[in-house]
């Protein structure tokens, strides 16, 4: 009975603990060092000659080699025309297409890439997304800064009413907000006559920053 009484007393004192609860956030902007370019190659006719997907792929790889871009950064997103239609029907008017994703570290090379590629063999090319290789480190840093900001906020609010900040009681993370830039207007397309809709006067493209924000809520005791 004595033990139970002590526990109840302790709980009662704890429930009367004065505290302050605040929220704070930290923000930062970073320049992307990872740019993902989506590039679709499509067979076409040059006069009476059909330019095959293999030729277009070789041309693209030659461009990457000339630009000193590692082929390991190139991956296939999708392909169309490799199965039944191609093997069984062998339709001469059927044009195969293949979509790649290219990871680049320098957005400045994007314009050069477009200028070098065979525009007749491209149905579209655009920046699908951007990112940063140290994104997780940045998020951690933002959490730390948000926690420090919460403590500082609680401190000056209590000082305003002649109270003192005590120990931290609780801290909760609020979902991080990350705003990635969109390059909707930086797209290259092809008309039905295989004439590129891309024009060189669109260059150069400007690197846009990634905006990151982390919020937290915290509870501190009042001495």
Domains of the chain, first to last: 33-131+182-200 (3.30.70)
Q: The dihedral of CA 178, 127, 192, 61: what is its sign?
A: negative
The encoded tokens of residue 154 equal 């609680």
pLDDT in tens, the chain (223 residues): 444 444 444 444 455 789 999 999 999 999 998 989 888 988 888 888 888 888 999 999 999 999 988 888 888 877 665 544 455 555 566 788 889 999 988 777 887 888 888 778 888 888 888 899 999 999 999 999 999 999 999 999 999 999 999 999 999 998 889 998 877 554 544 433 333 433 444 444 567 899 999 999 999 999 9
In this predicted structure, what is the pLDDT of residue 53?
87
CA distance linking residue 209 with residue 181, whole number of Å: 7
Q: What is the pLDDT of residue 190?
A: 40
pTM of the model: 0.69
**Edge-to-edge order in the sheet of strand 122-131:** 74-80, 97-104, 34-42, 122-131, 187-189
* Alpha-carbon separation of residue 218 from 108, 138, 139, 221 (angstroms): 43, 21, 18, 10
Give me the pLDDT at residue 126, please. Answer: 85
Which pLDDT does position 139 carry in this prediction? 94
């Amino acid at each position: 009975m004595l033990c139970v009484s002590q526990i109840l007393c302790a709980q009662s004192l704890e429930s009367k603990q004065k505290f302050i609860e605040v929220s704070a956030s930290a923000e930062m902007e970073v320049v992307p060092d990872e740019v993902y370019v989506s590039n679709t190659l499509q067979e076409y006719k040059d006069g009476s000659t059909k330019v095959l997907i293999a030729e277009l792929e070789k041309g693209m790889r030659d461009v990457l080699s000339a630009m000193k871009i590692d082929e390991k950064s190139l991956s296939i997103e999708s392909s169309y025309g490799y199965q039944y239609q191609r093997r069984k029907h062998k339709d001469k008017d059927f044009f195969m297409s293949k979509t790649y994703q290219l990871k680049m570290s320098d957005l400045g090379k994007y314009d050069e890439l477009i200028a070098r590629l065979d525009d007749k063999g491209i149905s579209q090319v655009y920046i699908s997304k951007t990112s940063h290789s140290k994104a997780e480190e940045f998020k951690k840093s933002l959490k730390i800064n948000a926690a420090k900001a919460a403590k500082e906020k609680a401190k000056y609010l209590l000082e305003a009413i002649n109270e003192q900040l005590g120990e931290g009681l609780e801290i909760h993370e609020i979902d991080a907000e990350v705003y990635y830039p969109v390059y909707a207007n930086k797209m290259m397309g092809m008309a039905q006559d295989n004439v590129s809709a891309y024009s060189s006067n669109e260059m150069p493209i400007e690197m846009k920053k990634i905006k990151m924000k982390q919020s937290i809520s915290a509870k501190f005791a009042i001495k």
